[in-house]
Amino acid sequence: MKVQVGIIGGGPSGLLLSQLLHLKGIDTVVLEKHSREYVLGRIRAGVLEHGFAELMREAQCGERMDREGEIHEGFFIAHDGVKDRVDLHKYTGGNSVVVYGQTELTRDLYDAREKAGGKVIHNAENVQPHDIDSDAPYLTYREGDETRRIDCDYIIGADGFHGVSRKSIPKDVLREYEKVYPFGWLGMLSRTKPVSPELIYAKHERGFALCSLRSQVLSRYYIQVPLTDTVEDWSDDAFWDELKRRLPAEVAEGLITGPSIEKSIAPLRSFVAEPMRYGNMFLAGDAAHIVPPTGARGLNSAASDIYYLYHALVDHYQKGDDAGLDNYSAKALARVWKAQRFSWWMTTLLHTFPDKIPYDQRLQQTDLEYLLSSDAAMASLAENYVGLPF
Ligand code: FAS
Ligand code: PHB
């Protein structure tokens, strides 16, 4: 098989790029190691930046998001028994975010690719990129007993943190930056009415908590837990009790509990791989960068990668202009690092660090007091949360 763009990974990054390029007549194939059901069974992001929502609309995949998603113009920070509202609309001159689950947007992208007759190959085993530093790169993968080959002009590594593409860049070329946090997030999904119409990020001496949602009948909650904890350590009742302890009393009193339909622990890390291009292979999304989910930048960091790659590939095929491709890594990393900074800052601001010295504890409290007392600080938080310009 020969395609213009071969994409490794059928998550949101790979599917969104495939759909956008398709609409411009650029031929792609997506190779996904798992089944569609498995990919859709993962519960991940919930908040979409304005820019991501716009890309979904441009990909002709925004209709259900606009119908079922919720526009949120602010969120709360709970601390010391009270909650303060961060007015995104006020501090960004009218911008907002869309609350719409990654599972649903990935479903919408799969449906769009299927409707367009797109080539999305599931259960593709042992996908390997080859000759990525040549003008004739190609992919191989195993389908049953057969090894298949796909010749490409370009390869996109959208295969997430544990994928094969980043590891295909020579070690003397690849630079990796990583910061691992001494805790994780225990997340729960429950078919209950959300405790708050807007998200609540809670800073508490017992640990961070987050009240989020997927709809008015589907709630998503998180509590910070030690890295040594396992899901088995936490019954539903234990989760609800701990969540209530970390919320202001008037919020905890209104919390509607119920059985978990999903419960999992995600470790928190900050990670960036540079460069995001090697030869004719480009990295996008979690394949190149990971953030702690505190600032809701994970999926949204992938959006600008996809935006830059989409426009660069269209310029290449329609105008013979390779400036976008040549500048991709530097341009993508400039915005990726700003999302890294914001995610690190929000994580440091709101979490309990077991070995923090008293001076740093007071500094953390002062950072929060300054934020809540300063329009300039709030504006900085707001512009990062709704998404910096592409
Ligand atoms: P993905 O990892 O989503 O997709 C990569 C795809 O490539 C996967 O389907 C995988 O099966 C496939 N793949 C991997 N290796 C392959 C190979 N060798 N061959 C073929 N296919 C291969 N972000 C937020 O903003 N908020 C959150 O609350 C949040 N929670 C998260 C919780 C968890 C447990 C994780 C892991 C991430 C979370 N994220 C969150 C970040 C997440 O949303 C990512 O940013 C998002 O999935 C990035 O999308 P992709 O870049 O497409 O990578
Ligand atoms: C979620 O709803 O999963 C979510 C929302 C905001 C975050 C992290 C996760 O910052």
Query: Contact at 8 Å (CB) between 174 and 154?
Result: no
What's the CA-to-centroid distance between 79 and ligand 1, angstroms? 31
Spans of all domains in the chain: 2-70+99-178+269-350, 182-267+353-386
Tell me the backbone φ, ψ of residue 284, rounded to 5 degrees: -145, 145
Q: What is the mean pLDDT of residues 112-130?
A: 97
| pLDDT score of 206 | 98
In order, the DSSP letters of 299-312 are HHHHHHHHHHHHHH
pLDDT tens-digit readout, 182-211: 999 999 999 999 999 999 999 999 999 999
Please state which of the four CATH numbers 3.30.565.10, 3.50.50.60, 3.40.50.300, 3.40.50.1110 is assigned to the domain occupying 2-70+99-178+269-350: 3.50.50.60
Rounded CA-CA distance 121/237 in Å is 41
pLDDT tens-digit readout, 359-369: 999 999 999 99
Give the DSSP H/E element, type plus range, for residue 175.
strand 175-190
Is there an atom of ligand 1 within 6 Å of 166 CB?
no
Which of 199, 201, 386 maximizes ligand 2 atoms within 8 Å of its Cβ, making it the mutation to test the pocket?
199
Is there an atom of ligand 1 within 6 Å of 101 CB?
no
Q: What is the mean pLDDT of residues 320-330?
A: 98
| Residue the block writes with tokens 């949602």 | 213
pTM (2 d.p.): 0.96
Fold for domain 182-267+353-386? D-Amino Acid Oxidase; Chain A, domain 2 (3.30.9)
What's the CA-to-centroid distance between 85 and ligand 2, angstroms? 17
What's the CA-to-centroid distance between 250 and ligand 1, angstroms? 35
What's the CA-to-centroid distance between 220 and ligand 1, angstroms? 18
